[in-house]
Amino acid sequence: MSEVKIGRFYGLGVGPGAPDLLTLRAHRILTTIPVVVYPACKPGASSYAWRIVREHIPEATRRLAQVFPMSRDWASLIPVWRENAREIAAELRAGNDVAFVTEGDPMLFSTFLHVWELLRAEAPEVEVEVVPGVSSMCAAAALTGIALGQGDQRIAVIPATWHEDALRDALVEWDVVVLMKVARVLPRVIDLLKELGRYDHAALVSRGSSEQQIVTRDLEKFRDRRLNYLTTVLVGRPLAFVEGLLVESLQATIEEEEAS
């Protein structure tokens, strides 16, 4: 009796939203792998990660939608997640490679991290390969022109759902601040940005680079609107470093040129 070779599990970052912001590696895997798993927040709901990749997936590929409910009630979540991990483990043990697709990058606030954790408990023998993707914050920076960091700048990435003091500290002390998951707390974020004098250097990006993207510096316009979970506010110190030095150094150069 020959043993079935266990499949390989891929945590696949599919980028921020545009299908062509997939990497060549992710594309190769998705066009050859037999099983693609994608997360949805409820049964039958559309999946953002799936919409990003679906145009690349061959007809014959098997697709498994798995439900990962949005909830803070961990005791009820874990059995659902564990069931998902078991379903994946069964596919792998049948010898199939499986790709779990996740928007943005798999190592940055993704459902994949939970799946990985539970799969490791369920089937520690499985080989896992993480394929990094373009993160939503890099896409947000590209779309807004707000640099994530240059020179000696320091960057803070923080879920906006943290208590106000934590947000205040980050906004006071850090050059660039990326606020994740702002959807439910936008009014508080706007008020803080204004109070701390950083509103003019902020931008809001939701599902950046996708067809449904919102990219705006007019945060107030969205104060009371319902926003997607995947909404980020980027707060920059736009070019403070280089600009400051530029002025100084250009001045020096001009003086040198005049003197020569």
Residues 90-149 close enough to bind its own copies by CB under 8 A: 105-110, 113-114, 117-118, 130-135, 138-139, 141-143, 145-149
Please give the Cα distance from 3 to 39 (Å, whole number): 31
Establish if 45 lies at the interface with its own copies (CB under 8 A): no
The nearer residue to its own copies, 118 or 219, going by C-beta atoms, is: 118
The angle formed by the CA atoms of residues 48, 54 and 56, to the nearest 5 degrees, is 135
Establish if 75 lies at the interface with its own copies (CB under 8 A): yes
Establish if 191 lies at the interface with its own copies (CB under 8 A): no
CB of 4 to its own copies, least distance (A): 26
The nearer residue to its own copies, 1 or 72, going by C-beta atoms, is: 72
Interactions with its own copies, residue window 193-252 (CB under 8 A):
209, 239, 242-243, 245-246, 248-250, 252
Strand duo 35-40 + 98-102: pairing: parallel
Strands annotated E in 167-206: 176-180, 202-206
Specify the DSSP element, H or E, that contains 111: helix 111-122
Please give the Cα distance from 233 to 79 (Å, whole number): 33
Among 64, 86, 159, 214, the residue binding its own copies under the rule CB under 8 A is 159
DSSP state of 225: S
CB of 147 to its own copies, least distance (A): 5
Region binding its own copies by CB under 8 A among candidate stretches 63-71, 73-81, 94-102, 221-229: 73-81
Q: What is the CA radius of gyration of the chain?
A: 22
- Give SS3 for 178: strand
